[in-house]
Structures are given as structure tokens and as C-alpha cells.
């Protein structure tokens, strides 16, 4: 029951943050996205930690190799993202507006604030909730392979509220990557490092140019 309550909470929060189908959610998405994302991920992290108290030691297991693994994977994911977005913009006229829609939230706050929130709160919180709680619970219920793929599907699905195919594609590629990292290492630390660095690179430090 706690697993499904967590999913309902996440789906509701992601709807509020990403949907523009109501006046309320449209206002949140276009004006207060980073505050909503920070609040949502913080609350989901608390919920996850309270319900995974018996697994915290293994979830946060640390080895020095996780640092360079996380850094390398972040850089590879960033390069893949840049190439993929460039290719889509080159091939399809509809790609640029969808990428621009993803990036419009960057105008809502100071880039230093956004970068800090991504690195120290949002990215770690997403890994704690989606991999350390949701994926872990489904792995316990259905085994490693099926549980991992259920976790990936749910991570992608909650982004559907944006009705942005490129956002869903990005969530799929990234979700597969970070989910496999968790399944392989049994720790969310490599994923947190990778996710945090990738987020900061793609949104703040070296965002994708929207024109050639």
C-alpha cells in the first residue's frame, strides 16, 4: 500500500508541475516550476526514507569507484543528449519547439539557484524516490528484471502530463540508464552523482543551443 500511495503522490505532483491543461497547473509550470519541483522532490524523499529505513545502509552504500563511474556516465549521457537533440532538430522541424518548451523553465529563476537545487536536492531526491524506493520495491515484488522495467515505465509515464514526446524520450533514455545503474550496483550513489552532474550540465552550464 505504501508503494502505491507513493506513486499516487508522485503522479499528482508531476501533473501539477508539468501539465498546462488547467489554469492552476499552467500557472505553476510557467511561473513556479522550480519551487514546485523542489517541494515535491523533498516531500517524496522524506516519504521514501521513512519507508525504507531498513534499507538505508545498502541504498547509500559508498565505494570510491562510484564517484568516477557517476562522473563518466554523466558526461556520456550529456554527449548523447547533445547529439540526440542536434540530430532531431536537424531532421525534424517540430523538435526545436519541444526542446524550447523544456528549457523555458530556465527563465524562472537565477541559474545559480537552479544549479544548486538540481545538484543538491532535485537530482538526489529523484534517485532516492524513483530508484531507491519505487524500483527497489518492485524488484522485491517481481524480481530484478521485471521490477527494473516497471520502475523505468513509471518514471517515464509520470512525464506524460507535459505532452512533449521529446521529454518522454529523454526520460526513457535516462530512466533506463539510471535504473540499470541501480540494478547493477545496488546503491543509488552512482546514479545520484550521474544525475546531478547531467542535470547541471544540460540545464545550466552547457545547455543545448536551439539554433544551428
Range of the domain at 122: 2-52+65-205
- Determine, yes or no, domain membership for 137: yes
pLDDT value for 209: 81
**DSSP characters over 82-116:** HHHHHHHHHH-TTHHHHHHHHHGGGGGS-HHHHHH
* 57 domain-assigned: no
Number of domains forming the structure of the chain: 1
Would you state the pLDDT for residue 69?
A: 97
Domain for residue 145, yes or no?
Answer: yes
Backbone angles phi, psi at 105, to 5 degrees: -70, -15
Is residue 59, in this structure, part of any structural domain at all?
no
Are 95 and 166 a contacting pair, CB within 8 Å? yes
pLDDT tens string 116-144 = 999 999 999 999 999 999 999 999 999 99
Q: Are 112 and 31 in contact (CB under 8 A)?
A: no
| For residue 210, pLDDT beyond 80 | no
What average pLDDT does range 51-71 have in this prediction? 95
Asked if residue 134 belongs to a domain, the reply is yes
Residue that wins the pLDDT comparison between 208 and 83: 83
Amino acid at each position: 500500500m505504501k508503494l502505491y500511495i507513493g506513486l499516487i503522490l508522485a503522479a499528482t505532483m508531476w501533473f501539477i508541475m508539468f501539465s498546462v491543461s488547467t489554469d492552476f497547473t499552467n500557472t505553476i509550470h510557467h511561473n513556479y516550476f522550480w519551487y514546485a519541483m523542489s517541494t515535491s522532490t523533498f516531500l517524496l524523499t522524506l516519504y521514501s526514507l521513512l519507508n525504507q529505513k531498513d534499507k538505508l545502509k545498502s541504498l547509500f552504500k559508498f565505494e570510491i569507484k562510484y564517484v568516477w563511474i557517476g562522473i563518466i556516465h554523466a558526461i556520456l549521457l550529456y554527449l548523447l543528449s547533445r547529439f540526440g537533440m542536434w540530430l532531431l532538430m536537424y531532421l525534424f522541424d517540430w523538435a526545436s519547439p519541444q526542446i524550447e518548451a523544456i528549457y523555458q523553465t530556465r527563465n524562472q529563476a537565477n541559474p545559480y539557484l537552479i544549479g544548486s537545487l538540481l545538484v543538491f536536492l532535485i537530482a538526489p531526491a529523484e534517485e532516492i524516490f524513483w530508484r531507491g524506493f519505487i524500483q527497489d520495491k518492485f524488484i522485491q515484488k517481481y524480481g530484478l528484471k521485471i521490477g527494473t522495467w516497471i520502475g523505468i515505465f513509471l518514471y517515464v509515464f509520470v512525464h506524460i502530463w507535459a505532452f512533449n514526446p521529446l521529454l518522454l524520450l529523454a526520460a526513457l533514455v535516462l530512466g533506463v540508464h539510471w535504473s540499470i545503474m541501480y540494478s547493477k550496483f545496488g546503491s543509488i550513489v552512482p546514479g545520484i552523482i550521474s544525475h546531478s552532474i547531467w542535470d547541471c550540465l544540460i540545464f545550466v552550464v552547457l545547455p543545448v543551443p536551439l539554433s544551428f
